[in-house]
Amino acid sequence: MRIESFGWFFLSLITAVEAFSSLTMSSESPKHTLYDMPVSNNGARCRAILYKKKLPETEVKIVSPGELGGLKTPEYLALNPQGKMPLLTTDGLNIPESDTIARYLMSEYKDEGPSFQPDNAKSNLIARLHDMYLTTIQGCLYKPSPPFGIYGTRADAIAEYRKQMQVIDDVIGDDCGAYLCGSEVSLADATLFPSMVFAKYMLPKYDVPQDEALPPRISSWYDKLVASDDDFKKIHDEIMGGLEAWEGRNRWDTIWLAGLRDTDPESIFDKIIAGDIPAAVVKEDSKLLAFKDINPAAPAHVLVIPKDRANLSAMRKATPEHIEILGRLMVAAGEIAKDESLGFGDGARIVVNDGPDGGQEVPHLHIHVLGGRKLTWPPG
């Protein structure tokens, strides 16, 4: 009886110690904190490394920036003055930028799980191409207005994004295995995969066919990872949960080329742009066309129009999406106004008629450049 009682006491003691140890471990401060959110595709490359290396929260704990009040709060900015995520805090050093974080984790935990091939030239090239040419303009897929990197229009940025995906697709080649660089996962996989979740989901919103959202090699690799790799499937589901939440808040309803389209009927200017109606063209490039007005109101009278109306049937419809084309139109108007061969002298009147009260006749934004004589003010 006493032996049985002692055995029960000993078992209870072990259980209590284990419970205390568990409590101590769960309350212990982690060695690192990764500030990130599920929808972050750049942060997801770091999470992929954590998941593949199976690092416990005592080593790296993933925390939302919301726990510090958000990215722009003094508390968060004290850790990362850029106010961006992801951010890894270590003992004495705060590391922003996902590639730097990823390489730190690969080095710090090189003996845990896969290496992610830090010295593989192909892997590093793919990661670099991604960071230089995709990440810098990816906002074109979801941000409300330009600029997107060096691009002032969403259409140009999307075209460039697709071009750069094809560049990476060509680098991948036909000899990849289960992963981009063979049979072992690499930094390239961790870097590219999350962004392709974005691209596959968002590009069809901009009239890219679903089966053309990703280039062929990337598409095949992507589908294999979703189907056969639990860690990448977890990344996929995390990001998709965030994107579906955006969808539920109607994020794309007010974004040009996704929820917003030009639904106004075509005008005579569209026929001039297409070459169906002749015009005396004085200036042309990929974005604009300038031609002489067939009913001139001055000795020199030129109209400057955008080739892509982009919902600018009237100036009142201008939004931040139109900043670049409006600037181009005004620069072109200024250049035309000093062209003496067109009949301009010492200055010109550069004007936009907007709507019926403004005297607008064609529902396609156009700038009048008038000169060749003294013009009075106010106009009639």
Active site (catalytic) residues: 366
Instruction: Look at strands 281-284 and 288-292 and give their pairing.
Output: antiparallel
DSSP code per residue over 179-219: BTTBSS--HHHHHHHHHHHHHHHHGGGGT--GGGSS-HHHH
- Cα atoms in the 13 Å half-sphere on the side-chain side of 271: 8
Q: What whole-number distance in Å separates Cα of residue 197 and Cα of residue 180?
A: 16
Strands in the chain per DSSP E: 32-35, 60-63, 87-90, 93-96, 281-284, 288-292, 300-306, 349-351, 367-371
Question: CA quadruple 61, 64, 69, 72: dihedral positive or negative?
Answer: positive
Residue 241 structure tokens = 């949960």
Interior angle at CA 324, CA 320 and CA 325, nearest 5: 105
Residue 205's nearest CA partner among 251, 172, 241 is: 251
The pair phi, psi for residue 94, each rounded to 5°, is: -105, 125
Q: What whole-number distance in Å separates Cα of residue 149 and Cα of residue 169?
A: 22
What are the start-end ranges of the H helices in 109-186?
121-129, 154-172
Q: Which amino acid is at 344?
A: F
- CA distance readout (Å), 36 to 68, 84, 147, 184, 260: 12, 9, 24, 26, 31
